[in-house]
Amino acid sequence: MKHWYLIAYDIREPKRLRRVHYCLRKQALALQKSVFAIETDPRHLEEVLAQVHDLAAPNEDDIRLYAIPGPAALWTAGQQEHKLAGLHGGETATREGSLIKRLFDGLFRREAA
């Protein structure tokens, strides 16, 4: 069964950074320069994480994995917002995702006023 995950990283050395970024771009959706969304099964996720681990330096770099219920749980704005828009596929937003969206949308409306 497939699940959604966010992979985020902070790679200190530019050469390792490029390698990790390229590895993830082939297998996941880039949301920001160092944040990716991936829908996958546990076995493939393990393979992806092993590849990233082999390219990174665990004592120097920071790599994080977050399980998410789906793209509808994420609030996005800005240049990359359109990337997640097509992934919802009829899925309704979770209660937490809806709350986050309302909070952020309200915040941005107040700042614009």
Residues of the domain holding 69: 3-112
Q: Is residue 36 within 8 Å of 30, Cβ to Cβ? A: yes
Per-chain mean pLDDT for the chain: 80
Higher pLDDT, 72 or 20: 20
What's the pLDDT tens digit per position in 41-77? 999 999 999 999 999 998 999 999 999 988 877 777 6
Res 90: pLDDT: 43
Q: Report the 3 state secondary structure along the chain.
A: CCEEEEEEEECCCHHHHHHHHHHHHCCCEEEECCEEEEEECHHHHHHHHHHHHHHCCCCCCEEEEEEECCHHHCCCCCCCHHHHHCCCCCCCCCHHHHHHHHHHHHHHHHHHC
What's the pLDDT tens digit per position in 1-12? 899 999 999 999
Res 72: pLDDT: 76
Res 36: pLDDT: 94
Output the domain CATH number for residue 43. Answer: 3.30.70.240
| Count of domains observed in the chain | 1
Rg (CA), the chain: 16
